[in-house]
Amino acid sequence: MPPRNRVGEVAALRLERLVKTSVNGAPQWHLQPEANRTLVTLSGDWIAQQGHLPDFPESGFRDVPHGEPVEFSTDQLGKWDTSLISFLWELKRTAREDNVQLRIDTLPESARKLLDLLPEIPPTPAPPPPHKFQPVTAVGQLTLDTLNEVGCVSEMGAAAAKGGFAALVGRGMMRTVDLMSDLSAAGPAALLIVGVVNFLVGAILAFVGSVELHKFAADIYVASLVAIAMVREMSAVMTAIIMAGRTGGAYAARISTMQANEEIDALQVFGIPVSSYLILPSVLALAFTMPLLYLYGCLIGMLGGFFVSYIMLDVSPLGYFHETLQALPLDQFTFGFIKSFVFGTFIGLTSCRIGLKAGRSAADVGIAATKAVVVGIVGVIALDAVFAVIANVIGI
């Protein structure tokens, strides 16, 4: 049909509705048996947003004599929108179930057109799959999934390491620009928050220690307490937790957004290896900056401890400095240094993996970021426990 003719037709339809807008009142219907037919009278304004919409009961056609048609009277019908169509749809379904013959052609043409678009039978929603709790299966599945993930992360780590070596000999697919921007995001940009947190941790350690040590007039040992605690445990762990929340979450969000935009697919089609193009710079950045941030954290933490001791206790600056040096053999630093390198690599790899595995919607990006932070923090603390056992065994 050419569009020109349509305009006239539509204008007529519009007129039909405009004339009827004078009728007002709540939407109503009633069924009235007449000679040789049953009449459904529709009246009032059927506007969804005004509410009070009637339902058509399932037993609505019970009294209709068999074989007699049901017709509509719409003379008293006012304004209407889809709520009327919804009512008619329900009526049509009931009529179908009760084998009642419905004279749809007695409805206004515009309503008929919309009714024609609707499917005859509404689909029955599929029942949700039975959800029985099976502990053995669940534990088995969890174990398999975890092992699978560990395998994937190791494989990714190996691929990234390979890419790293390739980059060293100058045949890598990593761009220096990416590495530099990741380094700056993971390093200098994190200095403030890492500094604040470690300063406070050092100060808190000094507070807690001073209460007990003061009883023994051993105030000076606050210095060694703070130094050993910061260097062995607190600085590495606190810095790793901050970085898991800050940088790990950002990596996961970035990579899962790229996944959602098909950017990862585009990389793969070009044959650019995701492991060395995307993951290597991120992991390298974290693995490289984390030990440096750890050293910085140690220093700031001891400064926090000194600050508290100087103000609260009777400790001279020189004495504090001397006691700190006494308490710290260099191998303590090596241990913490290795730990923070491992933490950095772990956070980088897991958060990239979680980003890559994420779904393709906006909600999935949020889930991936949350998951990266949670896995990062829990993983760092678990790894720290493993390190503690190793340190105990080899006697550091």
Partner 1 sequence: MNNQMPSTDDRPVMIDVNDVTLAFGPRVIQHDVSFQVRRGSIFAVMGGSGCGKSTLLKSMIGLLRPTHGTYMVQKDNYWSGDDESRVRIGRRFGVLFQSGALWSSMTVGENVALPMQMFTKLEPHVIRQLVELKLGLVGMLHAIDQYPSELSGGMRKRAGLARAMSLDPDILFFDEPSAGLDPITSARLDELILNLRDGLGATIIIVSHELSSLFHIADDGIFLDADQKTAIAHGSPTWLRDHCTDPTVHAFMHREQLDSSSSHGNG
Residue 261 as a binder of partner 1 (CB under 8 A): the answer is no
Residue 130 as a binder of partner 1 (CB under 8 A): the answer is no
Residue 90 as a binder of partner 1 (CB under 8 A): the answer is yes
Q: Nearest approach, Cβ of 109 to partner 1 (angstroms)?
A: 8
Listed in sequence order, the DSSP H helices in the chain are 3-19, 82-97, 109-117, 135-168, 176-186, 191-215, 221-229, 235-243, 249-260, 263-270, 274, 280-312, 317-327, 330-357, 362-394
Residue 117 as a binder of partner 1 (CB under 8 A): the answer is yes
Contacts of 92 (CB under 8 A, 6+ apart): 102, 104, 115
Identify the residue whose tokens are 């044959």. 271
Q: At what angle do helices 176-186 and 280-312 cross, to 10 degrees?
A: 20
Would you state the torsion angle of the CA atoms of residues 107, 110, 115, 116, taken in this order, to the nearest 10 degrees? Answer: 110
* Identified binder of partner 1 from the candidate list 363, 389, 393, 394, rule CB under 8 A: 363
Q: Which stretch binds partner 1 (CB under 8 A): 33-41, 44-52, 58-66, 283-291?
A: 44-52
205: its two tokens: 């350690």
* Identified binder of partner 1 from the candidate list 334, 361, 381, 386, rule CB under 8 A: 361
Q: Which is nearer to partner 1, 81 or 263 (CB)?
A: 81
Asked whether 212 and 315 are in contact (CB, 8 A), the reply is no
Q: Nearest approach, Cβ of 159 to partner 1 (angstroms)?
A: 28
Q: Nearest approach, Cβ of 15 to partner 1 (angstroms)?
A: 10
Q: Which of residues 14-43 bind partner 1 (CB under 8 A)?
A: 14, 17
* Identified binder of partner 1 from the candidate list 21, 32, 76, 82, rule CB under 8 A: 82
Residue 104 as a binder of partner 1 (CB under 8 A): the answer is no
Contacts of 147 (CB under 8 A, 6+ apart): none
Q: Which is nearer to partner 1, 123 or 135 (CB)?
A: 123
Residue 51 as a binder of partner 1 (CB under 8 A): the answer is yes
Asked whether 174 and 281 are in contact (CB, 8 A), the reply is yes
Q: Which is nearer to partner 1, 50 or 73 (CB)?
A: 50
Question: How many angstroms from the chain centroid is the CA of residue 392?
Answer: 39
Residue 57 as a binder of partner 1 (CB under 8 A): the answer is no
243: its two tokens: 């970085």
Q: Which residues bind partner 1 (CB under 8 A)?
A: 2-4, 6-7, 9-11, 13-14, 17, 47-49, 51, 53, 81-83, 85-86, 89-90, 109-111, 113-114, 117-119, 122-123, 125-126, 359-364
